[in-house]
Chains A and B, each alone.
Chain A
Amino acid sequence: MNSFEYVRATTIPEAVNAASAQGAMYLGGGTNLLDLMKGGITRPTRIVDITHLPGLDRIEWLPDGGVRIGALVRNADLAHDAKFARQFPAVAEALLAGASAQLRNAATVGGNLLQRTRCPYFYDVASACNKRDPGAGCDAHGGDTRLHAVLGWSQSCIATNPSDFCVPLAALDAMVEIEGSAPRTIPLEEFHCLPGDTPDRESVLKLGELIVAIHLPSAASRFAAHARYLKIRERTSYAFAVVSAAAALRIESGTITEARIALGGVAAKPWRARAAEKTLAGARPDGAAFRAAGEAALADAQPSGENGFKIELARRIVIRALKLAAAGTPERIPALPASPFAAAAGVLLHA
């Protein structure tokens, strides 16, 4: 790890000021940043520690029924907040489907939005990577592409965003509150960038800008009775998604009045499937409707290597997530969160 200057910020303006220098990076939970620094992938010259900033570790319920989640709230604390999990069950399930208990206790929700891809060619400093070293080329092309994109990728980069949390957030119209020279609040859907010719630019954050909170609107809690997250990974726990999906439905008198669908593990950003959502409005929640939604969600997909299987896999995951959502949110998050192997609570699968 290269050495760096350590700055502990005590106020938001102080943090923004310190991080507005080239080479500066914010430190939250550190679970991704320290890993990247140990591997020499990220080499900040200044670390601005924001973990001691007051007030950013709170979950605040707003008068209109929405919620403001401070950027320093730990993933585990949000997932286990009873009221939050009841109102936004797919978000809680996605959080618990990510990483390990130790990492969830340290990782912050703000940092989750800024975690880097797990593309192995990005992580291996001996490989060419346009994201790590603009203009160097991309060794992922023609390489092992199980974890790579089938939507929104470019010749310069086929990496995926690894977040679980961001998938239901995108589906539920979450907003990102940003401090900086001009404070602003933007939709999460517009926060991450597709690679194009500049895969090193992963979000719309400008130099020095700081995520201070994530908002979920009160309308997002109307899906609470029919909201699930489903994640396919190489092992049942503690692995990144090959493909995942968040599905949320509002069902009235046997008809879907509104549907929300987003995909993970398929693109450089959480992928909101708006065309698929439209096919479901006014439909009955049955297999035919869900198959049509699965087709619509992946209509634009293209393999970026030997990963064409992910397109059919993603269709099936959308269909299955919709079926699970239609069946109803379980009373308690299953023992194996978001797993296709999850059974009824208490049933032993691997004993």
Chain B
Amino acid sequence: MSNSISLTVNGVARKIALDDPRITLLDLLRERLDLPGTKKGCDRGQCGACTILVDGKRINSCLALALSYDGADILTIEGLADGDNLHPVQAAFIAHDALQCGFCTPGQIMSAVGLIMEGQAGDDAERVREAMSGNICRCGAYAGITEAVLEAQTEIVARDRRQAA
């Protein structure tokens, strides 16, 4: 069986032939499109390491059947920075030491980018923690992650305000 889907991945339009209907977006990115930045942790929607943005919204790519996402616009950790200029969330994670081993970090960062775009948490640390609960960090870098998300949120709001002015 062969099916073909169209995806925009990190700004590049791609036509992709799938020889197996079972392929998830996670496996497609890692094994077929040479984008291993998105991590496979539990592969069952529990850890959040595989978080990507689909049409601007964060989802677990391990529970997304690739065939079902025909036509989607996908952003992964590889597409986040602007050349050598880090995305504000990436910069804030470094500034706040918001990682130890780094395995969960791409998922944490993509989740934080999604969270800030959702615009629900604002500068409330409790809301940030609640909204990031789908991303597990085995090293326990949660305090730094929360600080990084809050700082990036402030930075992005200020940047958007400057651009609007």
Write the residues of chain A forming the contact surface with B, with a CB cutoff of 8 angstroms: 1, 3-6, 8, 27, 30-31, 34-35, 38-39, 47, 49, 51-52, 76, 80, 99-103, 105-106, 236-238, 335-337, 345-351
With A80-B120, A102-B60 already in contact, the answer to whether A237 and B133 are too (CB < 8 A) is yes
| A238 and B134 within 8 A (CB) | yes
> What is the size, in residues, of chain B's interface with A at 8 Å between Cβ atoms?
38
B148 close to chain A: CB less than 8 A: no
B3 touches A6 (CB 8 A): yes
Main secondary structure of the interface of B (DSSP, over half): mixed
Residues of chain A within 8 A of B133, CB atoms compared: 100-101, 237-238
Contact among A102, A106, A346 for B48, CB-based, below 8 A = A102
Taking chain A's interface residues, is the majority helix, strand, or loop, or is none over half, making it mixed?
loop
Contact string against A for B residues 81-125, beta-carbon threshold 8 Å, 1 for contact and 0 otherwise? 000000000000000000000000000000100110010100011
Q: List 17 A-B contacts (CB under 8 A).
A: A6-B1, A8-B70, A34-B45, A34-B62, A39-B44, A51-B68, A52-B70, A101-B131, A102-B111, A105-B57, A106-B60, A236-B130, A237-B129, A237-B130, A238-B134, A346-B124, A346-B126
Which A residues are in CB contact (< 8 Å) with B62?
34
Contacts of B44 in A (CB 8 A): 35, 38-39
Using Cβ atoms and an 8 Å threshold, which residues of chain B touch A350? Answer: 126, 129
Q: B residues engaging A (CB < 8 A)?
A: 1, 3, 20-22, 24, 43-45, 48, 51, 57-60, 62-65, 67-68, 70, 111, 114-115, 118, 120, 124-127, 129-135
Contact call B43/A27, Cβ cutoff below 8 A: no
Question: Is there contact, CB below 8 Å, between A5 and B21?
Answer: yes
Our count of residue pairs bridging A and B at CB distance below 8 angstroms stands at: 107
Q: Choose from A6, A38, A101, A347 the contact partner of B21 (Cβ within 8 Å).
A: A6
In the complex, the answer to whether A335 meets B127 with C-beta atoms within 8 Å is yes
Known interface pairs A47-B21, A102-B51, A238-B133; 17 further A-B residue pairs with C-beta atoms within 8 A, sorted by A's residue number: A3-B21, A3-B22, A5-B21, A38-B43, A47-B65, A80-B118, A100-B133, A100-B134, A100-B135, A101-B134, A102-B114, A105-B58, A106-B64, A345-B124, A346-B124, A346-B126, A348-B125
Whether A34 and B24, one on each chain, are in contact in the complex, defined by CB atoms closer than 8 angstroms, is: yes
Min CB distance, B126 to chain A, in Å? 4
Contact B45 A101 (CB under 8 A): no
A349 closest partner in B (C-beta): B126
Instruction: State whether B63 touches A30 (Cβ < 8 A).
Output: yes
Q: How far is the CB of B45 from chain A (nearest CB, A)?
A: 6
Pick from A6, A31, A47, A76: contact of B60, CB under 8 Å: A31
Q: A101-B58, A101-B111 are in contact. Are A6 and B120 (CB under 8 A)?
A: no
Least CB distance, B7 to chain A, in whole angstroms: 15
Separation in Å of the B63 CB from the closest CB of chain A?
5
Query: Are A34 and B63 touching (Cβ within 8 A)?
Result: yes
What CA separation (Å) do A102 and B53 show in the bound complex?
Answer: 9
* Residues A30 and B120 in contact, CB atoms below 8 Å apart: no
Q: Which residues of A contact B1 (CB under 8 A)?
A: 5-6
Partner of A335, one of B21, B59, B130: B130
Give the shortest distance, in Å, between A102 (CB) and chain B (any CB). Answer: 5
